[in-house]
Protein backbone atom coordinates (compact mmCIF):
# COMPACT_ATOMS: atom_id res chain seq x y z
CA UNK A 1 0.00 0.00 0.00
CA UNK A 2 2.71 2.44 -0.96
CA UNK A 3 1.09 4.20 -3.92
CA UNK A 4 -0.88 6.37 -1.54
CA UNK A 5 2.34 7.39 0.18
CA UNK A 6 4.03 8.11 -3.12
CA UNK A 7 1.11 10.37 -4.00
CA UNK A 8 1.30 12.15 -0.66
CA UNK A 9 5.06 12.59 -1.06
CA UNK A 10 4.59 14.05 -4.53
CA UNK A 11 2.00 16.53 -3.27
CA UNK A 12 4.22 17.83 -0.46
CA UNK A 13 5.97 20.37 -2.64
CA UNK A 14 3.08 21.65 -4.70
CA UNK A 15 -0.62 21.40 -5.35
CA UNK A 16 -1.24 19.18 -8.36
CA UNK A 17 -4.20 17.91 -10.35
CA UNK A 18 -4.70 14.24 -11.14
CA UNK A 19 -3.58 14.94 -14.66
CA UNK A 20 -0.39 16.71 -13.60
CA UNK A 21 0.33 13.95 -11.12
CA UNK A 22 -0.16 11.40 -13.88
CA UNK A 23 2.39 13.12 -16.08
CA UNK A 24 4.86 13.26 -13.21
CA UNK A 25 4.35 9.58 -12.40
CA UNK A 26 4.55 8.53 -16.01
CA UNK A 27 8.12 9.60 -16.49
CA UNK A 28 10.82 11.69 -15.04
CA UNK A 29 9.81 14.09 -12.36
CA UNK A 30 8.53 11.57 -9.85
CA UNK A 31 11.20 9.03 -10.62
CA UNK A 32 10.76 7.43 -7.23
CA UNK A 33 7.55 5.66 -8.22
CA UNK A 34 5.45 4.87 -11.27
CA UNK A 35 1.70 4.65 -11.82
CA UNK A 36 -0.91 5.06 -14.55
CA UNK A 37 -3.48 7.88 -14.60
CA UNK A 38 -6.39 5.58 -13.73
CA UNK A 39 -4.66 4.43 -10.58
CA UNK A 40 -3.92 7.99 -9.56
CA UNK A 41 -7.47 9.26 -10.06
CA UNK A 42 -8.73 6.32 -8.03
CA UNK A 43 -6.13 6.83 -5.30
CA UNK A 44 -6.81 10.58 -5.08
CA UNK A 45 -10.52 9.87 -4.65
CA UNK A 46 -9.78 7.42 -1.82
CA UNK A 47 -7.29 9.78 -0.18
CA UNK A 48 -9.82 12.60 -0.29
CA UNK A 49 -12.57 10.42 1.18
CA UNK A 50 -10.20 9.49 4.00
CA UNK A 51 -9.28 13.12 4.58
CA UNK A 52 -5.57 12.72 3.74
CA UNK A 53 -5.77 15.21 0.88
CA UNK A 54 -8.20 18.01 0.00
CA UNK A 55 -9.14 19.01 -3.51
CA UNK A 56 -10.23 22.43 -4.69
CA UNK A 57 -11.90 23.02 -8.05
CA UNK A 58 -10.12 25.44 -10.37
CA UNK A 59 -12.44 26.79 -13.06
CA UNK A 60 -10.80 27.34 -16.42
CA UNK A 61 -12.66 28.72 -19.42
CA UNK A 62 -10.27 27.77 -22.20
CA UNK A 63 -9.50 24.30 -20.76
CA UNK A 64 -11.63 21.80 -18.83
CA UNK A 65 -11.87 22.52 -15.12
CA UNK A 66 -9.46 20.73 -12.87
CA UNK A 67 -9.11 19.80 -9.21
CA UNK A 68 -5.88 20.64 -7.38
CA UNK A 69 -5.01 18.50 -4.41
CA UNK A 70 -2.95 19.25 -1.34
CA UNK A 71 -1.90 17.15 1.64
CA UNK A 72 -3.82 17.66 4.89
CA UNK A 73 -2.37 17.42 8.38
CA UNK A 74 -3.81 13.92 8.62
CA UNK A 75 -2.09 13.12 5.34
CA UNK A 76 1.25 14.35 6.62
CA UNK A 77 0.78 12.32 9.79
CA UNK A 78 0.08 9.22 7.70
CA UNK A 79 3.28 9.82 5.73
CA UNK A 80 5.25 10.17 8.93
CA UNK A 81 3.75 6.96 10.27
CA UNK A 82 4.68 5.23 6.99
CA UNK A 83 8.24 6.57 7.18
CA UNK A 84 8.77 4.58 10.37
CA UNK A 85 7.61 1.22 8.96
CA UNK A 86 9.92 -1.49 7.61
CA UNK A 87 10.85 -1.53 3.92
CA UNK A 88 10.51 -4.37 1.48
CA UNK A 89 13.72 -5.01 -0.43
CA UNK A 90 13.67 -3.39 -3.85
CA UNK A 91 13.85 -5.72 -6.82
CA UNK A 92 14.46 -5.11 -10.47
CA UNK A 93 11.63 -6.37 -12.67
CA UNK A 94 12.51 -5.89 -16.27
CA UNK A 95 11.48 -7.66 -19.48
CA UNK A 96 14.84 -6.89 -21.03
CA UNK A 97 16.74 -8.66 -18.25
CA UNK A 98 14.59 -11.76 -18.75
CA UNK A 99 15.51 -11.72 -22.43
CA UNK A 100 19.22 -11.31 -21.69
CA UNK A 101 19.03 -14.18 -19.20
CA UNK A 102 17.88 -16.29 -22.15
CA UNK A 103 20.39 -14.67 -24.53
CA UNK A 104 22.15 -17.92 -25.36
CA UNK A 105 18.91 -19.43 -26.65
CA UNK A 106 17.08 -16.65 -28.46
CA UNK A 107 19.26 -15.12 -31.17
CA UNK A 108 21.26 -11.99 -30.52
CA UNK A 109 20.09 -9.71 -33.34
CA UNK A 110 16.82 -8.54 -31.84
CA UNK A 111 18.37 -8.31 -28.38
CA UNK A 112 21.15 -6.03 -29.56
CA UNK A 113 18.59 -3.71 -31.13
CA UNK A 114 16.56 -3.63 -27.93
CA UNK A 115 19.60 -2.98 -25.78
CA UNK A 116 20.63 -0.12 -28.04
CA UNK A 117 17.14 1.34 -27.91
CA UNK A 118 17.07 1.06 -24.13
CA UNK A 119 20.47 2.74 -23.87
CA UNK A 120 19.17 5.67 -25.93
CA UNK A 121 16.09 5.92 -23.72
CA UNK A 122 18.33 5.90 -20.65
CA UNK A 123 20.41 8.68 -22.19
CA UNK A 124 17.29 10.81 -22.61
CA UNK A 125 16.38 10.27 -18.97
CA UNK A 126 19.93 11.06 -17.87
CA UNK A 127 19.73 14.42 -19.62
CA UNK A 128 16.28 15.06 -18.18
CA UNK A 129 17.36 14.26 -14.64
CA UNK A 130 20.55 16.26 -15.02
CA UNK A 131 18.46 19.26 -16.01
CA UNK A 132 16.06 18.77 -13.12
CA UNK A 133 18.94 18.59 -10.64
CA UNK A 134 20.49 21.78 -12.04
CA UNK A 135 17.12 23.49 -11.79
CA UNK A 136 16.58 22.42 -8.19
CA UNK A 137 19.98 23.54 -6.92
CA UNK A 138 19.86 26.78 -8.93
CA UNK A 139 23.14 28.70 -8.71
CA UNK A 140 24.38 26.86 -5.63
CA UNK A 141 26.93 24.05 -5.83
CA UNK A 142 25.61 20.56 -5.14
CA UNK A 143 27.44 20.36 -1.84
CA UNK A 144 26.17 23.74 -0.73
CA UNK A 145 22.62 22.89 -1.77
CA UNK A 146 22.60 19.53 0.01
CA UNK A 147 23.98 21.12 3.18
CA UNK A 148 21.64 24.08 3.40
CA UNK A 149 18.85 23.66 0.83
CA UNK A 150 15.28 23.58 2.15
CA UNK A 151 13.75 20.75 0.15
CA UNK A 152 16.40 18.17 -0.65
CA UNK A 153 14.12 15.09 -0.77
CA UNK A 154 13.26 15.39 -4.47
CA UNK A 155 16.91 16.14 -5.23
CA UNK A 156 18.11 12.99 -3.49
CA UNK A 157 15.58 10.73 -5.21
CA UNK A 158 16.44 12.32 -8.54
CA UNK A 159 20.10 11.53 -7.91
CA UNK A 160 19.15 7.88 -7.43
CA UNK A 161 17.13 7.96 -10.62
CA UNK A 162 20.08 9.45 -12.48
CA UNK A 163 22.52 6.84 -11.19
CA UNK A 164 20.02 4.09 -12.03
CA UNK A 165 19.72 5.26 -15.61
CA UNK A 166 23.48 5.62 -15.93
CA UNK A 167 23.77 2.03 -14.74
CA UNK A 168 21.15 1.02 -17.27
CA UNK A 169 22.87 2.79 -20.11
CA UNK A 170 26.33 1.44 -19.31
CA UNK A 171 25.10 -2.10 -18.89
CA UNK A 172 23.02 -1.99 -22.08
CA UNK A 173 25.93 -0.65 -24.12
CA UNK A 174 28.40 -3.16 -22.72
CA UNK A 175 26.01 -6.08 -23.10
CA UNK A 176 25.14 -5.10 -26.66
CA UNK A 177 28.86 -4.86 -27.49
CA UNK A 178 29.54 -8.32 -26.08
CA UNK A 179 26.66 -9.89 -28.01
CA UNK A 180 27.73 -8.10 -31.18
CA UNK A 181 31.26 -9.38 -30.91
CA UNK A 182 30.13 -12.93 -30.28
CA UNK A 183 27.80 -13.02 -33.29
CA UNK A 184 30.58 -11.55 -35.45
CA UNK A 185 32.90 -14.27 -34.20
CA UNK A 186 30.38 -17.02 -34.93
CA UNK A 187 29.82 -15.81 -38.49
CA UNK A 188 33.49 -16.07 -39.42
Residues that bind DNA (CB under 7 A): 1-3, 17-20, 22-23, 34-39, 41-42, 44-45, 60, 62-67, 88, 93
Pairing of strands 66-71, 16-17: antiparallel
**Phi/psi at 23 (nearest 5 deg)?**
-65, -45
User: Binding of its own copies at residue 187 (CB under 8 A)?
Assistant: no
Stretch that binds its own copies, among 36-44, 52-60, 93-101, 128-136 (CB under 8 A): 93-101
Are 133 and 143 spatial neighbours (Cβ–Cβ below 8 Å)? no
Please choose, from the candidates 104, 110, 129, 102, the residue with its C-alpha nearest in 3D space to the C-alpha of residue 28. 129
**Count of Cβ atoms closer than 10 Å to residue 150 Cβ:** 5
Which DSSP helix (H) or strand (E) runs through 98? Answer: helix 95-101
Q: What's the closest the beta carbon of residue 114 comes to its own copies, in angstroms? A: 6
d(CA 29, CA 134): 13
Stretch that binds its own copies, among 16-24, 36-44, 73-81, 128-136 (CB under 8 A): 73-81
Which of the choices its own copies, DNA, none does residue 60 contact, using the CB cut-off of 5 to 8 A by kind? DNA
Question: Rule CB under 8 A: which residues touch its own copies?
Answer: 2, 5-6, 8-10, 12, 27, 30-34, 76, 79-80, 82-85, 87-107, 110-111, 114, 118, 121, 146-147, 150-154, 156-157, 159-161, 163-164, 167-168, 170-171, 175, 178, 181-182, 185
Amino acid sequence: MALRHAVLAALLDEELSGYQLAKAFDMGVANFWHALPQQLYAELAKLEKEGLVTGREVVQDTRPNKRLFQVTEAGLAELQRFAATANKPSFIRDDLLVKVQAADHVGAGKLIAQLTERAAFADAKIELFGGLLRQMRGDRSEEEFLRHGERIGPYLTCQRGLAFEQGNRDWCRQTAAILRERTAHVRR
